[in-house]
């Protein structure tokens, strides 16, 4: 039946399908960390709606909160509502006190890209400047502006006349250092290069409206930024008066073991972009949190019809309660350590060039041992073999050679054990 559904999809939907091309299943029902396809096969879901389902599929408490809200109010434009205020209070309660007092919310259209666009527009309005600095290999969304600041080229290459004034700088991707340095010669030269370019009045970059950064590049291949890189970027942007936007669409809402990933870097940004896992159950919501100093928009300056999804607000407030009650952040850290141990043996595999991650955001990068080049076909083969053994994982990264693990954040130790065993087996088979 999956094959029939896939054929129907091919007939009716755009050729730009992503996930089902490599994961050829039609899915029908799901619960927690498990998905069932239309043929009755059950899979462990380490894709989790591309990181959206932080509490797994259909968490009963979130379903109950949404059901209660359903009869009351579902769409509220940008009117204040009890559900929205509860959501905001819940989100604020997850921030450090200093940040909590500084931040305001602007709800954006329903997706991460909408919030990224809003962040850029706000910073441009506030600074009166038009340029934006972004990083190689980053991903920020498929809208025109979010795509323009995306470093990954596959989506934008065939699109002429992009957004002007975007400058890409190297990200601290140490496994394949963009400046070709080694651990003994590196002095965080990627950040140093950004600094020199910004200070150079003779052909360097103009002072930008914003620097936008992922703390852990997700689509780029699960690459956690180096701490000294992030700290230098923060120091520099503070000194030069450039708003620092952190895109926590993927890394936020507990994914890395803290509510936001930037907390682990000891910095505070000027703008936080969040979306994916905000509701915990896949009901769309996207928001920017920004420093009050940037509160420059005139009334009506940034609108959007879908800024008041009350079901998402109800689920999101409940999700925060569940995170606290069940110590989900503690689980993220423990299961993350479990994954580190379970995958430790992969370091000996000549085809595995790096295993890296934070919390429950993991990437296994494959490279050809003969020349070190990316082994994309192998990563796809591992994904296919894992699927056959009952595990859904994604493949991504700059050269499509990284198997990505993004389980629900309340995944159990037992499921992690099974998933890692499947994955290790699939890798052994594929590299044999
Ligand atoms: N930013 C980051 C870091 C993302 O990972 C994504 C989605 N993968 C986006 C922005 C765009 O979000 P959306 O797909 O909801 O527009």
Ligand 1 touching residue 112 (CB < 6 A) = yes
Identify the CA nearest to 232 among candidates 283, 291, 275, 172. Answer: 172
- Minimum mean pLDDT range among 12-16, 120-124, 246-250, 350-354: 12-16
Segment 360-389 mean pLDDT: 97
- The 10s digit of each residue's pLDDT in 260-279 is 999 999 999 999 999 999 99
Distance from Cα 348 to the centre of ligand 1, integer Å: 33
Mean pLDDT of 66-70: 98
CB 248 near ligand 1, within 6 Å? no
**Mean pLDDT estimate for the chain:** 96
Class of residue 271 by CB neighbours under 10 A (exposed 0-12, middle 13-18, buried 19+) = buried
Alpha-carbon distance of 276 to 369, in angstroms, equals: 36
The first and second tokens of residue 203, run together, are 């052909």
CA angle 96-99-103, nearest 5°?
135
Determine the residue of 276, 395, 404 to mutate for testing ligand 1's pocket, defined as the one with the most ligand atoms within 8 A of the Cβ atom: 276
Work out whether strand 216-217 and strand 223-224 pair parallel, antiparallel, or are unpaired: antiparallel
**pLDDT-derived band of residue 211, with 50, 70 and 90 as boundaries?**
very high
Helices vs strands, H then E, count in the chain? 14, 17
Q: Which two tokens stand for residue 201?
A: 């009045």
Dihedral of the CA atoms 14, 18, 19, 25 (nearest 10)?
30
C-alpha span between 427 and 82 (Å, rounded): 49
Mean of the pLDDT values across residues 350-365? 98
Per-residue pLDDT of 401-423, as tens digits, reads 999 999 999 999 999 999 999 99
Q: What is the mean pLDDT of residues 153-179?
A: 92
Bigger pLDDT: 160 vs 146: 146
What is the C-alpha separation between 101 and 93, in angstroms, rounded? 11
Kindly indicate the confidence band of residue 203, based on its pLDDT and cuts at 50, 70 and 90: confident
Q: What was the pLDDT predicted at 4?
A: 97
Q: What percent of the chain has pLDDT over 70?
A: 100
Question: How many of the other CB atoms lie within 10 Å of CB of 394?
Answer: 25
Q: Is 174 helix (H, G, I), strand (E, B) or coil?
A: helix
3-class secondary-structure state, position 231: helix
Question: Which residue's CA is minimally distant from atom 7 of ligand 1?
Answer: 141
At residue 160, the pLDDT reads 87
Greatest CA separation for the chain: 64
- How far does residue 40's CA lie from ligand 1's centre (Å)? 31
The count of C-alpha atoms lying within 13 angstroms of the C-alpha of 401, restricted to the half-sphere facing its C-beta, is 19
Residue 386: pLDDT above 80?
yes
CB within 8 A of 350, min separation 6: which ones?
369, 431
Q: Quick check: 249 and 276 in contact, CB under 8 A?
A: yes
Question: What does the pLDDT average to over 171-191?
Answer: 95
The pLDDT value given to residue 162 = 84
User: How crowded is the C-beta side of 313, counted as CA atoms within 13 Å?
Assistant: 27
Considering only the top CATH level, what class is 62-325? alpha beta
| Domain ranges for the chain | 62-325
Between 274 and 204, name the one with better pLDDT.
Answer: 274
Quote the CA–CA distance of 397 and 94 in Å, as a whole number: 30
pLDDT at res. 262: 98
Residue 201 has a pLDDT of 73
The pLDDT of residue 200: 85
Q: Pick the closest to residue 126 from 259, 241, 275, 250 (CA basis).
A: 241
Question: Looking at this predicted complex, what is its ipTM?
Answer: 0.99
157 vs 62, residue with greater confidence = 62
CA distances 372 to 175, 228, 351, 364, Å, are 11, 27, 9, 15
Quote the pLDDT of residue 157: 84
Beta-bridge partners for 103: 291
Mean pLDDT of 341-357: 97
Whole-number Å distance, alpha carbon 110 to ligand 1 midpoint, is 11
In the reported structure, the alpha carbon of residue 410 is separated from the centroid of ligand 1 by a whole-number distance in angstroms of 22
- Ligand 1 atom 12, closest CA: 112
Q: How many CB atoms lie within 10 A of CB 87?
A: 28
Pocket test for ligand 1, best of 142, 249, 253, 279 (most atoms within 8 A of CB): 249
């Amino acid at each position: 039946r999956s094959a029939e559904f896939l054929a129907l999809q091919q007939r009716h939907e755009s050729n730009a399908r992503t996930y089902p091309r490599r994961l050829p299943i039609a899915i029908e029902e799901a619960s927690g960390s498990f998905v069932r396809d239309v043929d009755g096969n059950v899979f462990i879901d380490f894709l989790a709606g591309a990181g959206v389902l932080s509490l797994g599929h259909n968490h009963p408490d979130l379903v109950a909160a949404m059901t209660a809200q359903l009869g009351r109010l579902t769409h509220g434009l940008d009117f204040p509502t009890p559900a929205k205020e509860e959501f905001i209070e819940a989100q604020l309660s997850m921030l450090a006190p200093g940040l909590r007092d500084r931040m305001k919310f602007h709800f954006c259209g329903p997706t991460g890209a909408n919030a990224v666009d809003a962040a850029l527009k706000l910073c441009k309005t506030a600074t009166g400047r038009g340029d934006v600095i972004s990083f190689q290999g980053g991903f920020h969304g498929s809208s025109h502006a979010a795509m323009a600041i995306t470093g990954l080229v596959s989506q934008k290459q065939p699109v002429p006349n992009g957004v002007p004034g975007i400058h890409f700088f190297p990200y601290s991707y140490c496994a394949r250092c963009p400046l070709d340095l080694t651990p003994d010669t590196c002095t965080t030269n990627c950040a140093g290069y950004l600094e020199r370019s910004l200070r150079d009045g003779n052909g360097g970059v103009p002072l930008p409206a914003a620097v936008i950064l992922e703390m852990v590049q997700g689509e780029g291949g699960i690459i956690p930024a180096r701490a000294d890189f992030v700290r230098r970027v923060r120091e520099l942007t503070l000194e030069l008066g450039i708003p620092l936007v952190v895109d926590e669409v993927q890394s936020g809402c507990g994914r890395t073991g803290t509510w936001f990933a930037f907390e682990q870097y000891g910095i505070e940004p000027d703008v936080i972009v969040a979306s994916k896992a905000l509701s915990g159950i896949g009901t769309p919501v996207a928001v920017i949190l920004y420093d009050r100093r940037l509160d420059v928009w005139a009334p009506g300056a940034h609108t959007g019809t879908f800024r008041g999804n009350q079901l998402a607000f109800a689920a999101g407030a409940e999700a925060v309660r569940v995170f606290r009650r069940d110590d989900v952040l503690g689980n993220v850290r423990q299961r993350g350590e479990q994954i580190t141990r379970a995958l430790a043996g992969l370091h000996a595999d000549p085809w595995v060039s790096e295993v890296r991650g934070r919390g429950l955001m993991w990437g296994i990068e494959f490279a050809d041992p003969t020349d070190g080049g990316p082994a994309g076909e192998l990563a796809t083969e591992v994904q296919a073999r894992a699927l056959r053994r009952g595990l859904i994982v994604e493949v991504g990264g700059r050269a499509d050679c990284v198997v990505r693990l993004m389980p629900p954040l309340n995944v159990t130790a037992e499921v992690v054990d099974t998933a890692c065993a499947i994955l290790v087996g699939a890798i052994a088979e594929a590299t044999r």
